[in-house]
Amino acid sequence: MDQQTFMMAYLVLLFLPCVFSSRGRILSAGYESMTSQVPYSGIRKVLTTNNKECKFPFRQGGRIHHHCLTIRSSKPWCSLTHNFDRDQQYGFCAPQKIIPDVSVHTSRKITDPCQVTLCQNGGVRTRIPHTNNSECSCPESFTGTHCEHKKCYEIVHLHYYDTGETWGRIHLRNVEQCTCVAGEIECERVRYTMCRSNPCQNDGTCRRITATRKEVCNCRWGYGGPHCSVEPESECYTGRGTDYRGVVDTTVSGARCMAWNSDLLYDELHVGTVDASSRKGLGNHAYCRNPEKDKMPWCYTLNDGAISWEYCDVPACVMSVSFSRRIIPFNVPKPSNPGKKHVCGKRHKKRLSIARVRIMGGNSALPGTHPWMAAIYIGESDFCAGTLVSSCWIVSAAHCFFRNPLKSQLRVVLGQQRFNVTGPNTRTFGVQEYIFPKQFSVFNPTLHDIVLIKLAKQDGRA
């Protein structure tokens, strides 16, 4: 083979992937798509016929979907939240747009289809289940369509924050409000007061930021996390690992764990009380835990579009033979190729239900899983609960308002998990009005005991 023939063959092989990848410029039938930076990095932004955004992935029928469906409908549709099973909100996907494969003179930059498939910063391109599309699976420290944006790692909370996110912390005895700016943390000292109640665990101290009304914790040495519930130095587990509070978040097969408060886990995990979830080590994180006394720590995972679970890559502790009786990790042997292991006939069964305490016939929520729950604060001392029944309306008990409190004394918090503790999953509203039924009487408050509360609008909407 002469040199010219060799060069021609080399060029053909070089551009062959571009020829076959050009089909990716025709978007999947049934919906409109465009790239977007969303929490699930690399997922396309799909719009409905009402110009609302589809939320991918979403849960429907206990399975996880990454594309529009035609189940129970001749028109492709999608969920408007990450959990259709829970929220039942949907829209019909907009018609497809076909990008013509022609060259035109334009001031816009046309991206080479062979270049857009590259994932940056250690990201790995993976196929979206049940589609011909793929996406970048980013390391935890990066986000974006191509993993191009760096997150901010908060050493106090042991958590990565996206660009633009804000949070409070106590660092070097200073109470600070921080923001993630282009991958860097920027903080400023803020005013604070003492907390009315202390959500901090393991003898942590609490302060309340005046401007945001959010509680922040100062943890003792050896503990971390927003509420001092994590032990970052814990290298192994004892017994069955029910008390393990370390930071391992991968399974024995190398899969990434799902956050315990993920919307996708609705109907999978139920705990008896809010305090019970905290005692079990669960919360807004993806660390391995053993809340129901299995044989070792485990976590939920996504396996080919379905929710599954695996035991975690956490070693068991054994006693050293030396006189110091030091506990050392004991690594359990792993299969030679755990990622390729196939189990025939085994199906996902784990539906956690921890014994309920004091709550009869109900299940408490992990943070963010029940955003319609309303906490109603009346003045400085009174408290009642309610439920969001429409975009601006709360239903509650009329006897809570029998003293006719001023509307300026009322505060409604949606999505709150702990009493008077706000966080990233909560929203606070004022009250525009509250309405009693005509039959309600303060002299017999157990009858017709219902009140409608209209939320005050923020930025033109409630």
The model's pLDDT over 269-305, given as tens digits with 9 standing for 90+, comes to 655 444 567 778 888 889 999 988 889 999 998 876 6
192 pLDDT above the threshold of 70: yes
Rounded distance between C-alpha atoms, residue 440 and residue 158, angstroms: 50
Give 378: exposed, middle or buried? Use CB within 10 Å, 0-12, 13-18, 19+.
Answer: middle
Rounded distance between C-alpha atoms, residue 210 and residue 192, angstroms: 5
Q: 3-state DSSP call for residue 340?
A: helix
Peptide bond preceding 57 in cis form (omega within 30 of 0): yes
| Confidence at residue 190, expressed as pLDDT on a 0 to 100 scale | 95
Tell me which of 38 and 145 has the higher pLDDT.
Answer: 145
CB 377, CB 410: distance < 8 Å: yes
Report which listed range, 13-27, 315-329, 420-434, is most confident: 420-434
Band of the pLDDT at 246, cuts 50, 70, 90?
very high
| Confidence at residue 419, expressed as pLDDT on a 0 to 100 scale | 67
Rounded to an integer, the average pLDDT of 350-368 is 46
405 pLDDT above the threshold of 90: no
| Confidence at residue 96, expressed as pLDDT on a 0 to 100 scale | 60
315 pLDDT above the threshold of 90: yes
- Find, among 354, 364, 218, the residue nearest to 289 by Cα: 354
Rounded distance between C-alpha atoms, residue 111 and residue 62, angstroms: 38
Establish how many alpha carbons lie within 13 A of residue 321's alpha carbon, considering only the half-sphere containing its beta carbon. Answer: 0
Average pLDDT, the chain: 75
Range from 184-188, 202-206, 255-259 carrying the lowest mean pLDDT: 255-259
Rounded distance between C-alpha atoms, residue 363 and residue 59, angstroms: 20
**Could you please report the per-residue DSSP string of 374-400?**
EEEEETTTEEEEEEE-SSSEEEE-GGG
Element (H, E) at 12: helix 3-21
410-414: strand order across its sheet = 427-429, 410-414, 373-378, 382-388, 393-396, 451-455, 431-435
Rounded distance between C-alpha atoms, residue 462 and residue 458, angstroms: 6
Rounded distance between C-alpha atoms, residue 276 and residue 34, angstroms: 42
Tell me which of 23 and 258 has the higher pLDDT.
Answer: 258
Give 182: exposed, middle or buried? Use CB within 10 Å, 0-12, 13-18, 19+.
Answer: exposed
| Confidence at residue 320, expressed as pLDDT on a 0 to 100 scale | 54
Query: Identity (one letter) of the amino acid at 351?
Result: R
Strand partners, 378: 382, 410
Query: Identity (one letter) of the amino acid at 423?
Result: G
For the chain, domains (ranges, CATH) are 1-102+111-148 (2.10.10.10), 151-218 (2.10.25.10), 263-339+348-353 (no CATH), 373-455 (2.40.10.10)
Tracing tokens 């092989």 back to the chain, one arrives at: 13
Query: Identity (one letter) of the amino acid at 306?
Result: A
Tell me which of 237 and 22 has the higher pLDDT.
Answer: 237
- Find, among 191, 220, 192, the residue nearest to 205 by Cα: 220
Band of the pLDDT at 311, cuts 50, 70, 90?
very high
Range from 26-35, 77-86, 285-294 carrying the lowest mean pLDDT: 26-35
- DSSP secondary structure code for residue 60 in this structure: E
Q: 3-state DSSP call for residue 102?
A: coil
| Confidence at residue 40, expressed as pLDDT on a 0 to 100 scale | 36
187 pLDDT above the threshold of 90: yes
- DSSP secondary structure code for residue 407 in this structure: G
Query: Identity (one letter) of the amino acid at 262?
Result: S
| Confidence at residue 422, expressed as pLDDT on a 0 to 100 scale | 72
pTM of the predicted model as reported, rounded to 2 decimal places = 0.53
- DSSP secondary structure code for residue 18 in this structure: H
Rounded to an integer, the average pLDDT of 348-364 is 44
330: CB partners within 8 A, 6+ apart: 236, 315, 316, 317, 318
Neighbours of 55 (CB within 10 A): 23
Neighbours of 343 (CB within 10 A): 6
328 pLDDT above the threshold of 90: no
Phi first, then psi, for residue 327 (nearest 5°) are: -85, 125
Rounded distance between C-alpha atoms, residue 204 and residue 215, angstroms: 12
| Confidence at residue 210, expressed as pLDDT on a 0 to 100 scale | 94
